[in-house]
């Protein structure tokens, strides 16, 4: 899966992965990270997620990373924000108010460019990547965020269905990628009402990752 795959999805408006409402697991479990009011939260591969709206509404500062410039333009437009756009090395930086989003390859984002973050919310990043890419992604995320605590949301389903993305990521895999650096706790796992992508049986899980 290459960058053009995602650019094509956004250009053709094939964004079934985009949720029109705030994720219920975010609502139920984000407070468990124990972040201070106004804390800076990182949302990797944020798209134009409604979850960003909610985080801003709770008073957090949000910094995102996203491959698609179109998605980021739509995010700011839907929030009614007119961003200042500047070059940041190989990335573009969109910024307005308490929202900053870096556009480009997430692996080009370094910790100095990102700056300090108090927590991470990953709903659509790890599960968007095929298995060979997930270990590199997880290691880079931990490094650039200085092992900030995370709320991670994943899906589990029969991988033989080959319906990803989003891909099936088991608890075993979560622990394999993150267990050396974080304490991993499954906060909730439930069957998805209506299934995934045409009704395929699937479970959605929320994990709390706290640095060791």
Q: Tell me how far apart the alpha carbons of residues 29 and 186 are, in angstroms, rounded to a whole number.
A: 11
User: Would you place residue 9 in the very low, low, confident or very high pLDDT band (cuts 50, 70, 90)?
Assistant: low
pLDDT in tens, 135-152: 999 999 999 999 999 999
User: Would you place residue 12 in the very low, low, confident or very high pLDDT band (cuts 50, 70, 90)?
Assistant: low
Locus of tokens 């410039």? 69
Q: Tell me how far apart the alpha carbons of residues 140 and 187 are, in angstroms, rounded to a whole number.
A: 24
pLDDT in tens, 100-123: 999 999 999 999 999 999 999 999
Per-residue b or e along 33-55, where b marks 16 or more CB atoms closer than 10 Å to that residue's CB: bebeeebbbbbbbbbbbbbbbbb
The token pair at 21 is 């409402």
The token pair at 103 is 């556009």
The token pair at 208 is 């709390």
């Amino acid at each position: 899966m290459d960058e053009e795959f995602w650019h094509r999805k956004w250009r053709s408006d094939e964004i079934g992965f985009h949720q029109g409402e705030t994720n219920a697991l975010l609502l139920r479990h984000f407070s468990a990270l124990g972040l201070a009011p106004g804390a800076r939260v990182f949302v990797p591969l944020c798209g134009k997620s409604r979850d960003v709206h909610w985080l801003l509404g709770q008073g957090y500062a949000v910094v995102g990373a996203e491959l698609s410039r179109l998605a980021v333009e739509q995010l700011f437009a839907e929030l009614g924000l007119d961003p200042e756009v500047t070059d940041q090395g190989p990335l573009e930086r969109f910024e307005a108010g308490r929202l900053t989003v870096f556009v480009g390859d997430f692996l080009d984002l370094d910790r100095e460019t990102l700056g300090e973050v108090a927590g991470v919310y990953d709903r659509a990043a790890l599960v968007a990547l095929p298995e060979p890419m997930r270990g590199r992604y997880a290691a880079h995320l931990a490094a650039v965020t200085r092992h900030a605590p995370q709320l991670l949301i994943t899906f589990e389903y029969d991988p033989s269905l080959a319906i990803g993305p989003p891909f099936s990521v088991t608890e075993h895999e979560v622990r394999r990628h993150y267990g050396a650096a974080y304490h991993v706790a499954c906060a909730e796992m439930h069957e998805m009402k209506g299934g995934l992508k045409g009704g395929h049986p699937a479970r959605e899980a929320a994990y709390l990752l706290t640095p060791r």
